[in-house]
Structure 1
């Protein structure tokens, strides 16, 4: 897998992505402001071994959910927040572990955090199961824009 700074072409593609219910909250609006955020330097594209664009990762504040920020849940030393999204046509096909693991490997190499943190909608049991299988632990649950989210954290073993 190749992970790289998101290109404008990839940002434009992501901005057209729509997901079926109940995952619709992860859909993109198509607004111009979305492209500006996607190209702000915190988003990275991911291509498979054939060079096909399959998804993105984002790190830092753009990976945080507003309700979690409002509840002051995003503090901590040596923690990186991770956000991610796969191309809608590829979700639910068993590719998530390989995709997410590539993102984790990239974070270890590029940022070297002690702790990884992510926010996930509590209804998204597919993602929660994946994160737990990789070693993430459930953290606080909070509301954001009328939806329930959960923080999950993974502390990297000492190297």
Structure 2
């Protein structure tokens, strides 16, 4: 985790992340495609203490995490800067976020959702120990899409 610095997101970082543009088919994740997510990201009150910016060793913004603490579980949302995706850095990035969340929340379970078409992310999550729990239909980006609901238990982390 030493190669990453994770800090509470500020408005400056949120505005930068809001403009990130991914190449197809990953443009599905562009913030502009989901007005509700975009509004939450850009609203410091709505973000509260759930959104965190991730910086590399040169203090460059490289990604973000969103943590939603539940009773026994922390739900994770995440994103990497578009030019860094697909280059083998996803697992280290995810593990840094998981380590941060384990230390901060001390919960035995983690969950996340990933669009079923996103085989690249699915491989990263499975290598980290996440397992598909079910397929759910999620209303987002002006439609309803299939997502895998995935879980990671402390024993596997």
Assess same fold via TM > 0.5: yes
Of the three residues 38, 42, 46, the one matched with 1:35 is 42
Of the three residues 46, 52, 58, the one matched with 2:66 is 58
User: Which runs of 5 or more structure 2 residues have no equivalent in the other structure?
Assistant: none
Q: Distance in 2 between matches of 1:28 and 1:153?
A: 24
Displacement, 1:49? 1.5
| Greater mean alpha carbon deviation, residues 24-33 or residues 147-156 | 24-33
Residues 1:132 and 2:126 aligned together:
yes
Q: Distance in 1 between matches of 2:15 and 2:53?
A: 12
Q: Distance in 1 between matches of 2:15 and 2:149?
A: 29
Q: Distance in 2 between matches of 1:12 and 1:86?
A: 15
Of the three residues 89, 105, 112, the one matched with 1:111 is 105
Q: Distance in 2 between matches of 1:39 and 1:88?
A: 22
User: Which runs of 5 or more structure 1 residues have no equivalent in the other structure?
Assistant: 62-75
Alignment: residue pair count: 144
Residues 1:7 and 2:10 aligned together:
yes
Displacement, 1:6? 0.5
TM-score normalised by L of structure 2: 0.84
Q: Which has the higher strand share?
A: 2
Q: Distance in 2 between matches of 1:118 and 1:155?
A: 12
The answer to whether the 8 Å contact 1:140/1:150 transfers is: yes
RMSD of aligned Cα (Å): 2.1
Displacement, 1:147? 1.2
Moved over 6 A (4+): none
